[in-house]
Homo-oligomer: A and B are copies of this chain.
């Protein structure tokens, strides 16, 4: 996994050259270069490797998924959204570059991602490129991330179109699971996976996404700034709809570990050390906790 993360960091840096006007390129590169786990691009590359595709073919798409993820973080942190001053342990984008540049840096990443897929991909047919970009637009847009984010914001205002449990599940699927599913789906397109594999790995990515969001909800209650690199305890202050607020800490931990076990059931037969390592991150952190 470490090798893949290094490769992604290097390529993300290479793909964006600082040009005129400097501010916008610097704002794009700033949040993108903050050290993260790079889970989504790693999952994309590992899917391709596991299915015996060529991972070099997948690097631009993997980086595009991270650009989209970072775009969503930059916009989510804005004062008019979650108003977060820190991200990955550093001041968030608008704290460094101002709100206007942060809005524009997010917009820029949102279109630079598909531009990178088109310009940097090698050995992909036009049909594959169109499929990848189509999946990208669905995941990034109103039927994906944006839908999840607006439902999240509305729920903070206690404005519910559906009941709380359906709303929570909609938010988790659209705001979090969506990018893991995108990573695995693009991997399948690049490796020309058969339909049953696509369905199976999509189910894996969905379950992992839900587990990951519950894990994040738990950590917001019991973790520290040092461990997570962002402000902790904000969900409770904002009286936010989360898995822990709706079902309690114990049930959250139980559900999360159950989902991770189901992920193992799907993925173990592929014999992927990287996916084992990713599942382990959530598993080990939760099992070691005595405070939940």
The 6 closest A-B pairs by CB, nearest first: A80-B99, A126-B126, A115-B137, A111-B141, A108-B142, A24-B150
- Chain B residue numbers with a CB within 8 Å of A28 are 142
- Chain B residue numbers with a CB within 8 Å of A170 are 20-21
Given contacts A107-B110, A133-B133, contact A146 B24 (CB under 8 A): yes
Asked if A23 CB lies within 8 Å of chain B CBs, one says yes
> In whole angstroms, how far apart are the Cα atoms of A48 and B175 in the complex?
39
- Chain B residue numbers with a CB within 8 Å of A110 are 107, 110-111
Residue in B71, B115, B143, B147 whose CB lies within 8 Å of A138:
B115
Asked if A161 CB lies within 8 Å of chain B CBs, one says yes
With CB as the reference atom, state the residue of chain B lying closest to A102.
B80
> In whole angstroms, how far apart are the Cα atoms of A118 and B23 in the complex?
32
Asked if A55 CB lies within 8 Å of chain B CBs, one says no
Chain A residues with CB under 8 Å of chain B are 19-25, 28, 71, 75, 78, 80-81, 98-101, 103-104, 106-108, 110-112, 114-115, 118-119, 125-127, 129-130, 133-134, 136-138, 140-143, 146-147, 149-151, 153-154, 161-162, 170
- Chain B residue numbers with a CB within 8 Å of A140 are 107, 111
Give the copy number. Answer: 2
Is there contact, CB below 8 Å, between A100 and B137?
no
Residue in B20, B81, B107, B142 whose CB lies within 8 Å of A75:
B107
Residue in B24, B127, B150, B153 whose CB lies within 8 Å of A142:
B24
> In whole angstroms, how far apart are the Cα atoms of A200 and B130 in the complex?
29
With most chain B CB atoms within 10 A of its CB, the pick from A28, A80, A162 is: A80
Is there contact, CB below 8 Å, between B151 and A21?
yes
Is there contact, CB below 8 Å, between A133 and B150?
no
